[in-house]
């Protein structure tokens, strides 16, 4: 197959949602279609010891939530599909935001009963900022849901995007009879006792009296609603979708595998192939011959038995080849990657090549950080990976003095994943962990114990903001560090950080030292 054909058959997308909207269940069903798995994990079921394929960390299995992005790839109808299943919980939203920089499109899952929830709005803001094409899947139609027109209006108002329904539900909850697929003019009937795929019944003409035979008195309502729909909405425009201006909407029930194949089939027809990507130096086209890619995620301890660490690299241009030397642009060094891997959640297999759109796992011994660029030799730096200012802080203490080495190694590796940050107080040398949400502390504590054999405890600390300081006036920096010595710390890379304990103290410091710049994230032009 030609280089161009390989790129054009790749579809790389993220599935995002508010917690419990059914995102991981939808991911599982998509994997079933691709033959990537044969039995869907019963998510959150403790009675049968199966768990979601995409939730591969032990804490995810116990909690029944996703706390890290997982990558899965499969072949389907001639396409190479790369799915990134992201955490829904807001305490892990930065992992999701970074993942959105590595995909070409997004499927947003919304619970039909709850409608649009706050976390979904935040995710949509990122998609809108990046002009990422979005498809909306309204899930759980087998349960009582909001009025369909109200749901569509809510999606438009709260996600601030025009919509175009491409399927339409016939009732919801116990009365749910199925969906009419507007995109290909067919009727899919819902049967909760049968999870086989309904090939659909063609109804090019909705006035066909045969419609009553299948859905009874609801046929009249369906005709009226579709007529209203066609009067209100313009015809579906693929161009508007690809430009991120219109979101096609589908309805179904991921749990019962209903409406999922229609979603997948339509997605593969309309979703974008790998797109050009801006770097700091220029726009990089995926069809360029020279390889380039960037690290959007690092996962420590992906295999606890081998203490392995993986950098996830999104291929942006050219062809990636195993054992070929590539330039690490930040370090200015060449690396040969002898064991690149493709993913099926925690399962990995060695690959010899990859193309734009693919996600490659690169074994890492500490050479990579999030945002690093790999190329064929050209010095470029991909941009747009968001960084986050910690909002919660705790002292971290060793709870087992015999395991201090394990604790140090565990903290070092977990901080590289980018979900938390480590600071060392210059006043008393104590270690401080900064996170975005409370749940992250629990995950760090759990993973340190179960993956590194090290126990820790967290102690409270009065802290408002971590501020990286920078100035051309070296004397001002030295004076600031001297005056604020009890509040100074260093980050993992040895940079000076002012740990402000209140908004008032921060405003005072900024007013007093006007020659110093205060940055609330660690990624600034140093």
pLDDT of residue 374 exceeding 90, the answer is yes
Rounded-to-integer distance, Cα 101 and Cα 149, Å: 32
Please give the distance of CA 426 from its chain centroid, rounded to a whole number: 35
Category of 50 on φ-ψ map: left (φ > 0), alpha (ψ -120 to 50) or beta: beta
Beta strand 309-317 pairing with 292-300? antiparallel
176 CB-side CA count, 13 A: 28
Residues 241 and 330 in one domain: no
- Identify the band that residue 489 occupies on the pLDDT scale cut at 50, 70 and 90: very high
Q: How many structural domains is the chain composed of?
A: 3
Which neighbouring-strand residues pair with 465? 500
**Which domain covers residue 443, as residue numbers?**
392-519
Q: Is residue 11 within a helix (H) or strand (E), and if so which, with residue range? A: strand 10-17
Check residue 156 and give its pLDDT.
96
pLDDT digits (tens, 9 = 90+) for 422-481: 999 999 999 999 987 787 888 889 888 988 899 999 999 999 999 999 999 999 999 999
Residues 80 and 34 in one domain: yes
Residues 350 and 430 in one domain: no
Check residue 58 and give its pLDDT.
53
Residues 46 and 79 in one domain: yes
Check residue 438 and give its pLDDT.
81
Check residue 522 and give its pLDDT.
67
Rounded-to-integer distance, Cα 436 and Cα 438, Å: 7
pLDDT digits (tens, 9 = 90+) for 243-292: 999 999 999 999 999 999 889 999 999 999 999 999 999 999 999 999 99
- Identify the band that residue 525 occupies on the pLDDT scale cut at 50, 70 and 90: very low
311 CB-side CA count, 13 A: 24
- Identify the band that residue 196 occupies on the pLDDT scale cut at 50, 70 and 90: low
Q: Choose among 346, 304, 313: nearest CA to 450.
A: 304
Q: Does residue 216 lie within any of the structural domains?
A: no
Check residue 8 and give its pLDDT.
96
The SS3 of residue 444 is helix
Rounded-to-integer distance, Cα 402 and Cα 106, Å: 46
Residues 423 and 511 in one domain: yes
> What CATH number is associated with residue 15?
3.40.50.300
Rounded-to-integer distance, Cα 500 and Cα 391, Å: 12
- E strands, 399-495, are 420-425, 431-435, 456-460, 465-470, 488-491
Rounded-to-integer distance, Cα 101 and Cα 371, Å: 10
Residues 330 and 307 in one domain: yes
Q: Does residue 210 lie within any of the structural domains?
A: no
Q: Does residue 124 lie within any of the structural domains?
A: yes
- Identify the band that residue 87 occupies on the pLDDT scale cut at 50, 70 and 90: low
The dihedral built from the CA positions of residue 37, 38, 43 and 46, taken in this order, carries a sign that is: negative
- Identify the band that residue 372 occupies on the pLDDT scale cut at 50, 70 and 90: very high
Residues 362 and 462 in one domain: no
Rounded-to-integer distance, Cα 5 and Cα 79, Å: 10
- What is the average per-residue pLDDT within 112-120? 90
Q: Choose among 432, 513, 524, 526: nearest CA to 478.
A: 513
Buried b (16+ CB within 10 A) or exposed e, 337-356: beebbbbbbeebeebeebbb
Q: Is residue 180 within a helix (H) or strand (E), and if so which, with residue range? A: strand 178-181
Residues 315 and 434 in one domain: no
Answer with the one of 344, 375, 406 that is the final residue of a domain: 375
Least confident of 307-311, 406-410, 454-458: 307-311
- Identify the band that residue 301 occupies on the pLDDT scale cut at 50, 70 and 90: low
> What CATH number is associated with residue 474?
3.30.70.3280
Q: Does residue 212 lie within any of the structural domains?
A: no
Mean pLDDT, the chain, as a whole number? 85
Q: Does residue 186 lie within any of the structural domains?
A: no
Rounded-to-integer distance, Cα 60 and Cα 54, Å: 9
Rounded-to-integer distance, Cα 207 and Cα 186, Å: 13
Which residues, 6 or more positions from 30, have their beta carbon under 8 angstroms from its beta carbon?
A: 81, 83, 260, 264
Answer with the one of 327, 343, 375 that is the final residue of a domain: 375
Give the DSSP letter string of 406-455.
HHHHHHHHHHHTTSEEEEEETTT--EEEEESSHHHHHHHHHHHHHHH---
Residues 150 and 53 in one domain: yes
- Identify the band that residue 4 occupies on the pLDDT scale cut at 50, 70 and 90: very high
Rounded-to-integer distance, Cα 284 and Cα 271, Å: 20
Q: Does residue 432 lie within any of the structural domains?
A: yes
pLDDT of residue 491 exceeding 80, the answer is yes
DSSP 141: T
Are the C-beta atoms of 438 and 390 separated by less than 8 Å?
no
The SS3 of residue 289 is coil
Q: Does residue 159 lie within any of the structural domains?
A: yes
Check residue 94 and give its pLDDT.
63
Residues 350 and 247 in one domain: no
Residues 120 and 59 in one domain: yes
Q: What is the pTM of this model?
A: 0.78
Least confident of 34-38, 144-148, 423-427, 497-501: 34-38
Q: Does residue 5 lie within any of the structural domains?
A: no
- Identify the band that residue 169 occupies on the pLDDT scale cut at 50, 70 and 90: very high
- Identify the band that residue 305 occupies on the pLDDT scale cut at 50, 70 and 90: low
């Amino acid at each position: 197959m030609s280089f161009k054909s390989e790129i054009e058959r790749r579809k790389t997308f993220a599935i995002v949602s508010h917690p419990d909207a059914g995102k991981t269940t939808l991911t599982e069903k998509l994997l079933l279609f691709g033959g990537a798995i044969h039995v869907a994990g019963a998510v959150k079921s403790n009675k049968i010891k199966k768990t979601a394929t995409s939730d591969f960390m032990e804490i995810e299995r116990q909690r029944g939530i996703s706390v890290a992005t997982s990558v899965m790839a499969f072949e389907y109808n001639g396409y190479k599909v790369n799915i990134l299943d992201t955490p829904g919980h807001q305490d892990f939203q930065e992992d999701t935001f970074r993942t959105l920089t590595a995909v070409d499109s997004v499927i947003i899952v919304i619970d039909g009963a709850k409608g649009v929830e706050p976390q979904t709005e935040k995710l949509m803001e990122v998609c809108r900022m990046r002009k990422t094409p979005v498809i909306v899947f309204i899930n759980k139609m087998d349960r009582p849901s909001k009025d369909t027109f109200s749901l569509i209006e809510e999606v438009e108002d709260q996600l601030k995007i025009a919509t175009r329904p491409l399927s339409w539900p016939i009732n919801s909850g116990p009365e749910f009879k199925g969906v009419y697929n507007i995109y290909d003019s067919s009727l899919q009937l819902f049967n909760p006792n049968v999870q086989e795929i309904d090939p659909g019944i063609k109804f090019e003409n909705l006035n066909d009296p045969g419609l009553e035979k299948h859905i009874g008195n609801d046929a009249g309502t369906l005709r009226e609603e579709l007529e209203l729909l066609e009067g209100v909405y313009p015809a579906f425009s693929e161009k508007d979708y690809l430009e991120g201006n219109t979101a096609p909407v589908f309805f179904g029930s991921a749990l019962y595998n209903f409406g999922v194949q229609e979603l997948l089939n339509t997605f593969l027809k309309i979703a974008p192939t790998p797109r050009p990507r801006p770097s700091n130096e220029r726009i990089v086209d995926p069809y360029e011959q020279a390889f380039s890619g960037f690290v959007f995620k690092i996962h420590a301890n992906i295999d606890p038995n081998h203490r392995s660490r993986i950098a996830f690299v999104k291929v942006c241009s050219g062809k990636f080849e195993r054992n070929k030397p590539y330039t690490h642009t930040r370090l200015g060094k060449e690396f040969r990657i002898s064991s690149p891997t493709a993913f099926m959640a925690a399962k990995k297999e060695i690959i010899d090549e990859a193309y734009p759109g693919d996600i490659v796992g690169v074994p890492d011994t500490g050479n990579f950080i999030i945002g690093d660029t790999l190329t064929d030799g050209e010095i470029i730096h991909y941009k747009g990976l968001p960084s986050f200012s910690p909002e919660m802080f705790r002292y971290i203490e060793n709870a087992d003095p015999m395991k201090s080495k394990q604790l140090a190694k565990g903290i070092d590796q977990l901080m590289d994943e980018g979900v938390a940050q480590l600071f060392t107080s210059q006043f008393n040398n104590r270690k401080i962990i900064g996170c975005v949400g409370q749940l992250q502390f629990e995950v760090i504590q759990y993973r340190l114990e179960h993956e590194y054999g090290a126990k820790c405890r967290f102690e409270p600390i009065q802290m408002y903001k971590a501020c990286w300081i920078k100035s051309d006036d070296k004397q001002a920096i030295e004076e600031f560090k001297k005056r604020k010595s009890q509040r100074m710390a260093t980050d993992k890379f040895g940079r000076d950080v002012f740990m402000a304990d209140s908004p008032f103290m921060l405003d005072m410091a900024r007013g007093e030292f006007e020659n110093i710049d205060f940055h609330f994230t660690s990624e600034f032009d140093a």
